Structures are given as C-alpha cells and as structure tokens.
Amino acid sequence: MNLTLPSSKVGVIDSHAHVMREYFKESREEVIERAFDSNVRVLINPAVTVADFDELRGLAESYDNIFFALGQHPHDAKDWKDEYADRILEAGKHPKMVAVGECGLDFYYENSEKEIQMKVFRQQVRLAKALRKPVIVHCRDAWQEAFSILQEEKDDSLTGVFHCFTGGPEMIPTIEELDFYVSYSGIVTFKNALEIQASVSVVKMDRILAETDCPFLAPQAVRGKQNEPSFVWWTVAKLTELLDTDLDTMAATCLENTRRLFKLP
C-alpha cells in the first residue's frame, strides 16, 4: 500500500467537500491548508440543510477558493420549510453561491418519506432553473424516480451533477441525455466497487468530476481515517488508472469540467 498522496501541479478541484465546523472543529483550517498545499485548487462546499447558510457563506467569504451550494439533503427533506425557497433564491445573488444542493432522493436510508423527498427535490430543481445554476444531486436507490423528475423538469437551463456516483454503466446514457455530469468519490477506489468502476469508461471525458464527500468515505488507501479534501487525489489517481491515462491529464480534465459546470472564475 502506497501512502504517499498522489498529486499533480496541474491541480484539481474537490467538487464536493463538507468542510463544516461540525465535522472538523478546530482542525478545519489545517485541513483546508493541506488541501491547497496538495494542489487542490478549489473546494465546493455543499449544504446538507438550508439552515447552515450563514456558516457556508461565512467560510466562502473567508477563502478565495471556497465556493458553496445551498439546498436540503434528502435525509432532511422532512425538515424543509416553505421559507427555504426564498432563502435559496436570495442566496443565489451571492457571488460564491454556485449551485443548488445537495438535494435528491435517498430510498436506501429513507430518513424522510419518499413522497416528501420527491416533492422537496422537485422544488429545488425548479429553484436551480430559476437561478440558472446547476443542481447537485444525491441519488441512492432511487434512479428511476430521480430520472423522471429531472426529465419532466428538463429545459435549456437545467444541468447539474450526480455527486458521489454509486450507479453502474447502465445509468450513464440517461445522465448524459439530461446533460448532467458524474462525480466520483472515494467509493470508486474500493475493491468491491466494480459496477461504479465499470461506469467510468462509459462516461464522456468532458463529464467526469472528482470529489471526496468528506468527512465521510475515505478512499481505500486511507480507509479508516477521517476523509478530507486533499484525499481527492486518491480518486483522481484511480480514475487515471481506470482510463489508462496519466495523472496530469486526468487532473486537468476534472478541473476543467468542474469549472465549466459551476461557472467558476
């Protein structure tokens, strides 16, 4: 097992990093510095609840290279409040707010009722369209339902990403028809993740993103540790191997794709 973090001077973006106090407490500044020191150029910090808006905005205002998304995770769909829609629209005026999310459907855990999840997801998709910003989709064991909602809502302004992708190659054509991106987390490095790995070579190169989804799901090489944004390099290294390319090319690809999707400066 090689524990030297792979890295390329080209740099990369962690397209989904929950760098919140709740998870990192007093180590947060160090974790962020370690990411930048390892050539992770930008972090996208997505909300799990709209209630976290102040912290998300505050952190993005403290660091040039941290951006945020605002939305309500499907686990917390039951706690959605009507006023959240206005807060998301208002937040959309902030220059560092790059997407609506994360939101979506999780029928594996089903922490909120399915009907409520679908209603709250559709509402956030509509907010993303109104803001002309991408939507960050969390989807677990709810592919048909998520695809239906996105197909029904599809218009020229709607795009986004299936983050922490846990599907297989058969989902990719539908995702590409929707004009969405696919983001791979540390899960793709797991030995038993054969279906997810098989999907990588099916996705078009200009649709692939990399993320950590930290603090959860550390990649195979550092399993058992708390996941942090610098570890996105393990995922980039795995994508490099699966696509039989080189780390510079893979990093540049993920970097460019993430910039394009989130319209980063």
- Work out how close the CB of 213 gets to Zn ion at its nearest, in angstroms, rounded to a whole number: 5
Give the residue with the Cβ less far from Zn ion, 17 or 222. Answer: 17
- Work out how close the CB of 215 gets to Zn ion at its nearest, in angstroms, rounded to a whole number: 10
Are residues 186 and 219 in contact, defined by beta-carbon separation less than 8 angstroms? yes
Q: Which residue has the tokens 């102040």?
A: 54
Strand partners, 45: 68
Give the residue with the Cβ less far from Zn ion, 14 or 213. Answer: 213
Q: Which residue is nearest to Zn ion (CB)?
A: 213
Give the residue with the Cβ less far from Zn ion, 213 or 228. Answer: 213
User: What are the start-end ranges of the H helices in the chain?
Assistant: 21-24, 28-37, 53-62, 83-91, 114-131, 143-153, 172-177, 194-200, 232-242, 247-262
Give the residue with the Cβ less far from Zn ion, 7 or 74. Answer: 74
- Work out how close the CB of 70 gets to Zn ion at its nearest, in angstroms, rounded to a whole number: 13
Give the residue with the Cβ less far from Zn ion, 10 or 48. Answer: 48
Buried b (16+ CB within 10 A) or exposed e, 1-36: eeeebbbbebbbbbbbbbbbeebbeeebeebbebbb
Buried b (16+ CB within 10 A) or exposed e, 126-139: ebbbebebbbbbbb
- Work out how close the CB of 101 gets to Zn ion at its nearest, in angstroms, rounded to a whole number: 8
Give the residue with the Cβ less far from Zn ion, 106 or 213. Answer: 213
Give the residue with the Cβ less far from Zn ion, 199 or 212. Answer: 212
Strand order in the sheet with 97-106: 12-14, 40-46, 66-70, 97-106, 135-140, 160-162, 180-184, 208-210
- Work out how close the CB of 163 gets to Zn ion at its nearest, in angstroms, rounded to a whole number: 6
- Work out how close the CB of 95 gets to Zn ion at its nearest, in angstroms, rounded to a whole number: 22
In the complex, which residues of this chain contact Zn ion (CB under 5 A)? 213
- Work out how close the CB of 244 gets to Zn ion at its nearest, in angstroms, rounded to a whole number: 29
Return the half-sphere exposure (C-beta side, CA atoms, 13 A cut-off) of residue 2.
7
By CB neighbour count within 10 A (0-12 exposed, 13-18 middle, 19+ buried), where does 71 fall? buried
Residues 6 or more apart from 27 whose CB is under 8 A from it? none
